[in-house]
Every structure is written in structure tokens, then in C-alpha cells.
Structure 1
């Protein structure tokens, strides 16, 4: 197998008709890019600039102070995701090493013979992690435990395992060195300072996507191409998420909002970041150019479907198909639409997990909301709905989210795939909703036992009444 090294200048490869095509490959810093692909280059350059500096100067000038601060640096300054003993130091990833050199430089493999066969990729997880992978299709799969067992490499390990499990590496003749580099770079480009939108969330969504791909309705209809696309979309669907939502980026005049004209800003960013990594690693460079471009477009179509602001559009279309019973999975466009709905379900399936897992995710996503609210307060901005930690609780946010977003979607998914898994998910969601309701009642009882406040007493004397409304707001990601 030919290992990919550093290269400069002209690069020749054979096109679809067998003729030699010449394309200049340039390197800028740690980036390989095709001179004809300015969009992918721009995204990669912006991302590297943000991650490599304490503060950054945006491409488009703006007077807003937030734009000169790295998201993760700001979180650290506010005291989140860091510790005084330095335990939060980022893990060093050897991005530009070939896979063989990466293996040989690993502490786990020091002292082992240099003749390491590439099939070690199939055996690189053992013990408890291997036992968990044997049950990767179980809905109660504990991704938090798996991430600890893989030393923080759950996304790389899980995604590679699933691609190999389906035989996609061999079927699509994927270079394992390029594939491994791609997955490592994907995992690295998630901001693990984010409480929720990080690589563990991506791994969790990928595992959920695998569960949906195994559903009888899909397992007998999807092609290998569909499965490859679905798994890659799940792994990259939140790539480079900054830990704040789209309205925040728009109201702070962020360069991403301008770049994508305030439309599906985060989802476009995730998609273009994924395309940038695919092209940087040249994972599909052996495929005809037209096929590779089609794959990138369809990957984008899946990722863009996760925009929560378009939830009702997709749900209405899904409901209409089910009412008319006209979904035909032998039709490629219908299969793609079902993949979109499966990814949407996988993305917000946390309330449908067992309580022990669902509660952890609820706490994480709420903390990310609250961190955004803290940033908004710090910079004298209007606090976004659900982001004020003094006015909201985890329970009321989750009950609203389940009632208005999750339940309608999973009810229609159960109509489409009336399986044991669908009933299990609906059952968990009902129990979790009741659990949050119980916790809310306990908190209310404790507040009442604490006695009325001075303001409440004044209102009572004046004959008035005091009530505190729970804001519902928007749940945009």
C-alpha cells in the first residue's frame, strides 16, 4: 500500500477516461488544498486561525468585541471546562504523520517490532472496549463509558469499526491510511471544550444512526453507498461547532453568519468543514471526480437536514408521505429522504435513551445553553431564550423540548418503522419526561417550604398575586 507523504508542486492522476489530468496541490501551513477549491481552503484557513491563536482577527472587519475572541478561550476565561491543575490540556494529535509513523510514535506501541501489519486497525481495541463494540447495536450503549475505555477516541474507534463492519473499506477501496487520518482530523476538529456539541456527541449520533440503519425497513433497502453516506454524515454533522447557536452568530455579526448569509449557518459550516477534510486527506481521490462531487453534495444534504429551524418542514413532508403511503425505498430520492429523517432522529435522540444516559446529555446541553447566556451577559447582549441560568431549569427546558420537538418526530418515525426499537424509544421518552416532571415538582415543593420572599409578602398585602412564568423560547442548535 502506498503511503501518502508530504508533496509539493504538480500532482498527476488519471481522470475518468484514463487521461492524465494535472492539478496543482499547494501547502499552506498544515493545510493541503487544491487551488481550484477556494471554498474548502477558506474554511480550513479560518478554522486553523481560530484554533491556533488566543485571539483572532476576522476576515471581515467588525466592531463587535466578541469576534476577536476564540470561543474556547472565552469559555476558559469564564471558568468553564478548565482546571487549575492543567488536566484539561489538549491531547496532541499527529495530524500530518502517515498512519505507520503515527502508530510507531504512539506510546502504546513503543518497543514493538517495526513490521506492524495494517490489519492492526481491526485489532486496535481490546478488552472492555472490544466487548462493547460487539454490542454496538444495543440502544442502551453507553457512549460515555466507551469514550473512557478508548481514551477519548470514541468517534475514531466507533466510526472505523462500523465502516469495517459493513465491509465499506474494502468495497469502496478506501485507503486505510487516508481513512484513519480523516477520522482523527474529524475528531480533533470537534471542540471538546463544548459541554454538548463535541466528539462524544458525534460518536453517540453515529451509534444511534447505526441502530436506525439496522431497522428492518432500512436494512433490506439501503445500498452500501447509502450506508457509507449515512455514517459519514453522522460523524461529521456538528463538525467545528462553536458551542453557540445560530441567532448568537447572527446578532454578533460573526463571519460565519456573513459567509452563509444567515441561512443554516452552523449546518453549512459543518458540511463545508467536512468537505475540506475529505479533500485535504484525499479520501475519495481515487473515485471519478463526478462521483466524488455527488457524494459531497449528498453529504451536505444530510447535514443541512439537521437544522432544527427547518424541523416542521421535514416533519410535514414525512407525515404527508406516511399518510399517502407512497414512500418507495427502491427510489433513490426516497431513500435519501429517509436517511435525512434518520439523521434528524439520531441527532436529537437523547431524550429517548435510558434515564442514566439521557440525564447526562440533558445536563450537558443545558450547561452549553447557560454558557452562551453567560457570554451574552458578559458582553451586554440580550440573553437568548433558554440561556439564562437564573430563569430556567434543566427540567423545564427538557420537558418543553420533548413535548414540542422530540415527541412529534419520533411518533412519525414509529409510524414509518413500527419496530421494537421504536417502541423502546417512545417508552424511554415517556419515562424520562415523567422523571423531569417529578424533579420539577420536588424543586417547587422545596421552594415553597423555604417561605415566601419579601416581594411575595408585599404583593399579598397589596392584594396582588405573584406568578413566575416559565419561558419556552426557541431550541435552535
Structure 2
């Protein structure tokens, strides 16, 4: 009996209202409403970004999930007042016990002396863009002015795009050559390369605007989950789409969805994991019933950007909704907590040899597996690239752990910098997560690329093991130097690998 992998049912008691799906970013609800209390859609349609309305005075609340307080602290030297009125429920509004300032920052009633154009522009801006524009209105120059790239940088970036299918593609160098616009430049190039702009009659201005908004909605302050990671995953996804089995079978719609999912799979990632959101009573955890919280938010944020940009507005409504659902199915597959579920299905298909890429459902499932591989392919990259990604993701883990310690929260696994090292984390990740997935992918697509990835994986794992061994040996040498030993033993070697670490 043929199994079709449909979009998982959203774990909610009732469907999410249309105004939630149509909004971009996070939406907070007034305490006077139920969890899905619906603000006036006419008011919501006037505003862009993550906003909420208080039913008592309809004051616009500009919020931004998780990062808003940090942004306020960094951008404003003065204290920010936080309203505290009867009827507010901090848990529902997204207050966090680990932050000193609740990110439900209020802008007081509009200044009647403000110009009409200023108010109109402010209505069109999301939270982050409002902060930037408000500095411009006050005459404050931008902190990081945009420098126009010279011909040398542009030329080098174009040369790199000619080798975009290489597994050694250096996304960090490409991001520098494009002045931090790697995601926009790379994704636009791939859309053009596949002829998707002409095939789907996409407006180039809308497409460019859509990609810019995607890039801007990744948090650049995240060491790992940022736009460069999204660009890296998109480049890896392109490499997989070029594999013989996929390139001969995938339709243009499959390719379009695969690239879109890769570019948006971590959209608006807060830099903390799902358990952190759950234990801090974040409203997104309540909204999605503690199930694939981040992945659901990435998907809904992507849908919001698609609708805001109007990229698919020329398509029939049914086709647009179907693409949104399939995009969600791909993004939700990146939930690492469901790794074994997808891996078991993949292994079962390979054992039975019943994957038929002429079947749309099977093609979609293979796209899910390809995206999962692209999302965690860093350990399969060459060492100089893989090591940088390992350091960045560990930095993000440890930052979360430091926050948890500071606010007396239980420290999440892998986030304690005193109990873990980069090497230990990476070796465990490679052994239990990466190796099983890529071994099955190599069974499905036994190509030079698959063998290259497994080769890099083995070498990188050996490199981390060697560094751990050296670290342990150095610690043992230090202990011996501190002990009272005869002079002739001062040059004694490190203890064997199986010895007890200090």
C-alpha cells in the first residue's frame, strides 16, 4: 500500500486563524482575549511585522521574538519604560524570566506633532526596521553604513558562483565578498540558474524584496543560526539537487520548494533551543503545544514573508496554499527530535527498494531527507570549514547555558561550558546523529559526493579525537610537573589514551 507523507497536523485544538498565518513574525495576544483572541483584521492589515494590540487602548506593541529585549538594551542607552497594567499575563505575552526587561516595550500614543509621512513609514516597518528608521528620523547615522562593493569584490563573487556546485564552496569567503549578502546573492543566482523566474512568472522586484526580507529576518547576532548558515544550507541543498537520481526526477516545483525551504528553514531563529522556550513559558511554546515550536515558527514566518512580498500572488489561490503547505512539511522535517522517525522510514524504503521518484509523495520525502542532510552537513565539510561551524554552534550553546545559569534555570544538555568541550560535543553529534543519516543517504545516492562527505566526516571526527587526546595529554603533563618526581623523570611522556583524565 502506497504511503504518502502528508503535512503533519498542527497540534492545536482548533485551527490557527487566518490573521495569524497572514502575519509575518511573531504575534502576541491581549490578555483579554483567549489564546487565539482575534484582533481586528482591519487593524492588523495596516501593520507589518510582529505586533499585538491591547484591547483597552489599541496601542501598537512592537515586539520581536526573544531578541527584542537584547536589541533594546544594545540600541538604547536610556532606560525603557515597561507598562504593567492589570489584566496582562506575562506568560502569554512572551515575557522571559531570564531577561531583566520584558520585551513588550510600548511606544506611547503617537506624537501629534510628528509628521504624517513619518507615521506612515512607521506603520509599514517591522520592529527591527522601525528601530533603524527611527534613528534616521532623529538624524543618527547608521552604525554599520553600507559600503558599495568595488569591481574586484564583485568579480570574485561571480567567480565563486561559477563553482557553486563544489562541496568545498567557502560560504564564509562568499559572504565577505558580497558584503554580508550571501543568502540573497546565492539564492537569487540559483533561481535564475534553474530558470524558475521565467517558469513561475516571478516578478524580479518582488523576488529580490522577498530574499532581502528573509536575510534581514535572520538574527545576525546569532553565532550559528544566522543568514550565513541559511546560505550554506541552500548551497548544500543545490549540491544534493544536482545528484543524478534527483536531477533526473525532480520537477521545477520540487526544486523551487527545496530552495525556498533551505533558505527559510531557520527563519527568525532566536538563538536558543525549544526546551529553553518551553521552560521559560514563551508564548510560542503554548501556541504550538510544545511540539516543533521553532520549526512551526520558521514555517509561519516564511509564509508571512511570502504573503507580504506577494511573490506568488499571481498564482491561483489553491496553488499558493498548496505550496505553503509543502514548504511547511519540508521545514518541519528539520526538527532534530524527529530524526529517528524520518531515518527509520528512509531506511525501510531503502531496505524494500520501493522508493519511486516518479511518485510525487516519494519525491517530497526525498526532499525532506535532502534538507535534513543539508541542515546538519557541517561535519561533512572540509576541516577548515567544518571546524568554524563547530566553534560557532558551540558558542551559541554555551551562550544559552550562561543565560540559564545566570537566571537559576536548569542548564540544557550540551550547553554547560564547564562540563562540555567542542570536541566532545562534535564527536557525540557525529556518532549518533550525522553518521547514521549520511550512511543511509549514501545508500540512496552512491555517488562521488556521498563518498566525499563520508570521507570528510571520518577525517573530522579523527581530528576532534586527536585534539581531545592532546588536551588530555597536556593536562596529565601538567599534573606530573606539579608532583614531586626525580629530576630524570621530568621528560616523561603523557599517559596512554585509556588513562584517567585529570
State the TM-score, normalizing by the size of structure 2: 0.72
Q: Quick one: which of 145, 161, 167 aligns to 1:133?
A: 161
1:304 aligned onto 2:332: yes
Superposed, 1:25-424 pairs within 5 Å as 27-31=45-49, 47=65, 50=68, 53-54=72-73, 60-61=92-93, 64-66=96-98, 69=101, 108=148, 126-424=154-452
- RMSD over equivalenced CA pairs, Å: 3.4
Task: Report deviation, 1:108.
Answer: 3.8
1:433 is matched with 461
Contact 1:93 1:188 in 2 (8 A): no
Aligned residue in 2 for 1:101: none
Conserved? CA contact 1:271–1:299, under 8 Å = yes
Q: 1:416 to 1:382 in 2, by over 3 A?
A: same
5+ residue gaps, structure 1: 1-22, 34-41, 72-88, 95-104, 111-122, 455-465, 470-477
What is the SS of the residue equivalent to 1:397? helix
The answer to whether the 8 Å contact 1:352/1:426 transfers is yes
Deviations 1:76-120 (A, max 9, x none): xxxxxxxxxxxxx999989xxxxxxxxxx986499xxxxxxxxxx
How far apart, in 2, do the equivalents of 1:441 and 1:48 lie?
Answer: 38
Local SS of the residue matching 1:228: helix
Change (3 A) 1:62 1:300: closer
Contact 2:50/2:63 (8 A) holds in 1? no
Q: Secondary structure at the match of 1:285?
A: coil
For residue 255 of structure 1, report the CA deviation from its aligned partner.
1.3
Contact in 2 for aligned 1:413/1:422 (Cα 8 Å): yes
Conservation of the 8 A alpha-carbon contact between 1:25 and 1:32 = no
Mapped contact 2:378–2:389 kept (Cα < 8 A): yes
Aligned length: 390
Deviations 1:402-431 (A, max 9, x none): 000000000000000000000000000000
SS of the residue 2:98 aligns to: helix
Unaligned ranges ≥5, structure 2: 1-40, 52-59, 74-79, 84-89, 104-127, 134-144, 483-498
Residue aligning to 2:113 = none
Give the distance between the partners of 2:175 and 2:341, measured in 1 at CA: 35
2: CA distance between counterparts of 1:45 and 1:368? 23
Give the direction of change, closer, same or farther, for the CA distance of 1:90–1:125 in structure 2 (3 Å limit). Answer: farther
Separation of aligned partners in 2, 1:367 and 1:166: 36
SS in 2 for 1:65: coil
SS at match of 1:262: coil
Q: Measured at CA, do residues 109 and 135 of structure 1 come closer, stay the same or move farther in structure 2, by a change above 3 Å?
A: closer
Are the equivalent residues in 2 in contact too, given 1:236–1:274 (CA < 8 A)? yes
